[in-house]
């Protein structure tokens, strides 16, 4: 394999979260004989025409400078760089409006309503719509649970002015809170469309966010072929031909409900699976 490959990450800021998986993956792929280098996506003075392939691994600050990120994707396309995952997929997946498209295709998601920028919603209507006592509000362009709030009816009444101010700057999704998240969020990993491994992410006591920097934890978990097939349905419909897909969701009353279809920069938990790195490598070589 004589292709020159860039493994794309980000410039860690003080107090930021590193991606140790990128370092381990880099060493594994080099051990397979690949010519691969870690590069910060918005590093200056990179001649992208020198690279044949760019693997989008952990540009974890992309949502904070989304227009620059989109422009960078175009630069790579114009330089003839093969993007994994492709640019059109990344752009589509960068805005959580994609969940509504998935729902329209008939696949189960956590019920979601779009609040477009400038909207002044009837907040109490969402509690009635879903017969719930809690709702979750999250920006359409976000990562790591930024500005994601769990709200009761009373809290919405108190914060409505502040929430309406937020809606002056960007689009949001609002969803009913499912208590099943307290039991854990399931992540199914697929490489090249083939199932690799699954794990369970659990929030800390009293929280609903499963990210490690919010106190969440992960554990290996057993599942059934039935749930693997349910997760694969999202991959078959919206993730064909991709290097990686992480299907995140909760199980409620025996049904799997999608929370996020992660096609940009998910942590892949490669070390949690016996053949995680090998499965990734096999999919990569096939695409190359």
Of the pLDDT bands very low, low, confident and very high (cuts 50, 70, 90), residue 224 is: confident
C-alpha span between 210 and 203 (Å, rounded): 4
Q: DSSP labels for 150-169?
A: EEEHHHHHHHHHHHHHHTTT
Tell me the pLDDT of the chain averaged across its residues.
90
pLDDT tens across 128-164, in order?
999 999 999 999 998 666 678 889 999 888 888 888 8
Instruction: Give the residue, 115 or 149, on which the prediction is more confident.
Output: 115
C-alpha span between 285 and 254 (Å, rounded): 36
Judged against a pLDDT cut of 70, whether residue 208 lies above it is answered with no
- Residue 211 has a pLDDT of 53
- Average pLDDT of the segment spanning 22-42: 96
What are the structural domains, with CATH classification, of the chain? 4-84 (3.40.50.20), 113-177 (3.30.1490.20), 180-271 (3.30.470.20)
Tally Cβ neighbours within 10 Å of residue 145: 18
Of the pLDDT bands very low, low, confident and very high (cuts 50, 70, 90), residue 36 is: very high
List the strands of the sheet with 134-139, edge to edge.
Answer: 113-115, 172-176, 134-139, 149-152
pTM of the model: 0.91
C-alpha span between 265 and 157 (Å, rounded): 35
Reported as half-sphere exposure (CB side, CA atoms, 13 A), residue 25 has a value of 26
């Amino acid at each position: 394999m004589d292709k020159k490959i860039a493994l794309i990450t980000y410039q860690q800021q003080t107090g930021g979260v590193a991606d140790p998986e990128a370092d381990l993956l880099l060493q594994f792929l080099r051990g397979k004989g690949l010519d691969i280098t870690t590069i910060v996506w918005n590093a200056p003075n990179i001649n992208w025409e020198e690279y044949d392939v760019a693997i989008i691994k952990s540009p974890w600050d992309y949502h904070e400078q989304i227009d620059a990120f989109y422009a960078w994707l175009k630069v790579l396309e114009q330089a003839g760089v093969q993007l994994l995952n492709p640019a059109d997929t990344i752009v589509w997946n960068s805005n959580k409006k994609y969940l509504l498209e998935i729902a329209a295709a008939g696949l189960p998601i956590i019920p979601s309503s779009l609040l477009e920028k400038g909207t002044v919603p009837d907040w109490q209507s969402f509690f009635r719509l879903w017969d719930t006592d809690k709702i979750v509000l999250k920006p359409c362009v976000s990562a790591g649970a930024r500005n994601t709030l769990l709200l009761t009816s009373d809290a919405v009444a108190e914060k409505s002015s502040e929430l309406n101010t937020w809606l002056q700057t960007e689009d949001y999704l609002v969803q009913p809170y499912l208590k099943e998240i307290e039991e854990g969020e399931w992540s199914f990993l697929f490489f090249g469309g083939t199932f690799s491994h699954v794990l369970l992410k659990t929030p800390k006591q009293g929280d609903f966010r499963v990210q490690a920097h919010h106190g969440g934890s992960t554990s290996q978990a057993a599942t059934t072929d039935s749930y693997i097939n349910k997760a694969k349905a999202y991959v078959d419909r919206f993730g064909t031909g991709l290097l990686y897909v992480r299907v995140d969701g909760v199980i409620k009353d025996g049904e799997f409900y999608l929370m996020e279809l992660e096609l940009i920069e998910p942590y892949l938990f490669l070390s949690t699976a016996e053949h995680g790195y090998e499965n990734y490598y096999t999919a990569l070589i096939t695409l190359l």
